[in-house]
Amino acid sequence: MKDKNRFVEKITPKSSDFSRWYVEVIRKAELADYAPMKGMMVIRPYGYAIWENIKSLLDKRIKETGHKNAYFPLFIPESLLKKETEHLEGFSPEVAWVTHGGDDELEERLAVRPTSEAIIGNMYSKWINSYRDLPVLINQWANIVRWEKVTRPFLRTAEFLWQEGHTAHETQKEAEEETQKMLSVYKEFVESELAISVISGLKSEREKFAGASATYCVEALMSDKKALQMGTSHFLGQHFSRVFDIKFEDRNQKLQYVWQTSWGVSTRMVGALVMAHGDDSGLCFPPRVAPLQVIIVPISIGEWKQNVLPVAENIRQSLDQKGFRVELDAREQFTPGWKFSEWEMKGVPLRLEIGPRDIKNNNAVLVRRDNRNKQVVSQDELENKIQEILSHIQKDMFDKSLKFREDNTHEVEKYQDFESIMKSKMGFIKAFWCGNPDCETKIKEDTKATIRAVVSEKEKGKCVCCGKDAGFLVYFAKAY
């Protein structure tokens, strides 16, 4: 009887059906819900809080590296988008068009931005005249619409939130350095705040951004051993500046086109947190971005009811004042056990239990979400202990992610091994590639794996596919 009830409440185990687990945990933890339009979701308060934390931490890093925020229009005239053909061809299948204003048909239809290179390029051509105007270092936080055919909450939705940086520079070298700089900002951000270990590198021609000279990325391995791109940084060369006529007079009084970059990360990050850290009990958030860092569960039995709650509330207040994200779950209709499971499912890093036993001894019990370790702590040293444990959780979660990535990265020389690993173990395959797109295509057709990142172009080896001399060391994986 009790077992049956428990079964109904529980989510599908991650190990038995990853996709189903993913969708269930997102809905049950109230991160997001489906909207009535295809491929669109509502990000609920608990999910949005993670995005807000990501946003404020990343925004700080973006500003520290010299960028300023601005906002450009949601709509882009078709003629502007059409100026760059490669770019348009890359995006046209997924552009949403506005054709009417009120009842009147527009003379020129407007694209709902699938990305903002075109509108920003157009404005930069007005703003940039001299080398003295450079560099231009602008970032915007915005929503993006791409009419995707296959969607999944957070990972690929028709509308998503992101940050897109767009910079213009005097020299190629400076723009290339900017591209690398932002790539490393992303890598450090994902690893230190999201506690997800990533690889970074260059995209192949086939995988790169439409219109870019070079696309770099950070890629992580999710716990089903498929790869997820978590951020991109593009070196755009003078591609867009020629198209949008972004010219400046250089130090020798010659007219030049600017060198550009663009880079972005999106709400996909939230999906990555779910898939990288979650387990059969639900979500598990790293403390740095967790919506709640500490949940206080009072054990208030019988006559202790009057005594436990005030103490719990005092603890909540003092932790709150110290800047911890903390809540007290004082709901009477649920038992402590129920609350334990509930908050574990919602991924709160640390649970604080306080009951009659603890109050007698001036203690509290702290339980970690990531490894369930339990310890009794004196109420007098709660703050320090919690601070310490939270930082341990952050570190341990990253170490676990790093180990997972390393354990699931396979160095392969023979094509036969490549195929069998992709069929069974999955994960990253680190191998040599000759650079021929035909090999890339064959590998994709045979195994569904794609090149996630080129990590070195100077190594010497034999192509895992054709066996010819190869200069590229690359990571392959099945990707989201």
Q: What is the secondary structure of 387-400 as a DSSP string?
A: HHHHHHHHHHHHHH
CB of 106 to RNA, least distance (A): 22
Position among 126, 251, 357, 425 found at the interface with RNA (CB under 7 A): 357
- In 317-401, the DSSP E strands lie at 326-328, 346-347, 350-354, 363-368, 374-378
CB of 81 to RNA, least distance (A): 16
Contact positions with RNA (CB under 7 A) in 314-343: 332-338, 340-342
Position among 25, 29, 276, 354 found at the interface with RNA (CB under 7 A): 354
CB of 209 to RNA, least distance (A): 5
Decide if residue 241 touches RNA (CB under 7 A). Answer: no
Position among 116, 122, 125, 151 found at the interface with RNA (CB under 7 A): 151
State how far the Cα of 173 lies from the Cα of 171, in Å rounded to an integer.
5
Decide if residue 141 touches RNA (CB under 7 A). Answer: no
Which part of the chain contacts RNA (CB under 7 A), choosing from 72-80, 126-134, 147-155, 185-193? 147-155
Contact positions with RNA (CB under 7 A) in 208-237: 209, 229-230, 232
Strand order in 350-354's β-sheet? 326-328, 294-298, 350-354, 363-368, 374-378
Going by their DSSP bridges, the two strands 294-298 and 326-328 should be labelled as parallel
CB of 133 to RNA, least distance (A): 29
Task: Locate 230 and state its tokens.
Answer: 């978590």
Position among 309, 365, 402, 466 found at the interface with RNA (CB under 7 A): 365
Contact positions with RNA (CB under 7 A) in 384-443: none
Q: What is the DSSP letter of 383?
A: H
Residue 294 contacts residue 386 (beta carbons within 8 Å): yes
Dihedral sign for Cα 455, 456, 457, 462, please.
negative
- In 173-298, the DSSP E strands lie at 198-202, 214-221, 227-237, 247-249, 255-257, 259-266, 283-284, 294-298
Decide if residue 61 touches RNA (CB under 7 A). Answer: no
State how far the Cα of 303 lies from the Cα of 320, in Å rounded to an integer.
27
State how far the Cα of 248 lies from the Cα of 255, in Å rounded to an integer.
5
Position among 14, 29, 39, 169 found at the interface with RNA (CB under 7 A): 39
CB of 145 to RNA, least distance (A): 9
Decide if residue 121 touches RNA (CB under 7 A). Answer: no
Please name the residues in contact with 14: beta carbons below 8 A apart, sequence gap of 6 or more: 21, 223, 278, 279, 280
Residue closer to RNA by CB (options 92, 180) is 92
Position among 173, 372, 403, 468 found at the interface with RNA (CB under 7 A): 372
Residue closer to RNA by CB (options 336, 471) is 336
Collapsing DSSP to helix, strand or coil, 77 comes out as strand
Type of residue numbered 414 = K
Collapsing DSSP to helix, strand or coil, 83 comes out as coil
Decide if residue 255 touches RNA (CB under 7 A). Answer: no
Decide if residue 278 touches RNA (CB under 7 A). Answer: no
Position among 152, 181, 325, 395 found at the interface with RNA (CB under 7 A): 152
Contact positions with RNA (CB under 7 A) in 160-219: 160, 162, 207, 209
Which part of the chain contacts RNA (CB under 7 A), choosing from 88-96, 104-112, 193-201, 243-251? 88-96
CB of 324 to RNA, least distance (A): 19
Position among 61, 65, 90, 402 found at the interface with RNA (CB under 7 A): 90
Helix (H) or strand (E) holding 107: strand 104-112
Q: What is the secondary structure of 12-73 as a DSSP string?
A: PPTTT-HHHHHHHHHHHTTSEEE-SSTT-EEE-HHHHHHHHHHHHHHHHHHHHTT-EE----
Which part of the chain contacts RNA (CB under 7 A), choosing from 36-44, 102-110, 283-291, 430-438? 36-44
Which part of the chain contacts RNA (CB under 7 A), choosing from 16-24, 98-106, 171-179, 424-432? 16-24
Helix (H) or strand (E) holding 109: strand 104-112
CB of 252 to RNA, least distance (A): 37
Decide if residue 155 touches RNA (CB under 7 A). Answer: yes
